Amino acid sequence: STLVGAIAVVRQPLDPEGMVFLQGELWQATSTDGAVGRGEMVRVLGVDGLRLTVTPVTIEAALPPDALGGVPG
């Protein structure tokens, strides 16, 4: 699925189930790593029908590698 690897934003806290916002739509989601609060970012690990399996990510992990300017070398 093209959704796998995408970053979504939690709209209804995941404990471990809730709702996330991805590509302009709300999705049911289940966290593989316990509770995730509203506004936090998660990465899509899998899709089962209309339910996403997600894991929390940090802001840094959600950005492209060069988004923070990289490391001077």
pLDDT in tens, 12-63: 999 999 999 999 999 999 999 989 999 999 999 999 999 999 999 977 666 6
30 contacts: CB under 8 Å, gap ≥ 6: 14, 16, 17, 51, 52, 53, 54
Q: Tell me what pLDDT residue 58 has.
A: 77
Higher pLDDT, 42 or 66: 42
In sequence order, what are the beta bridge partners of 59?
none
Q: Tell me what pLDDT residue 18 has.
A: 98
Measured in whole angstroms, the distance separating CA 70 from the mean position of its chain's CA atoms is 23
Report whether pLDDT(67) > 70.
Answer: no
Burial of 52 (0-12, 13-18, 19+ CB in 10 A): buried
Report whether pLDDT(70) > 80.
Answer: no
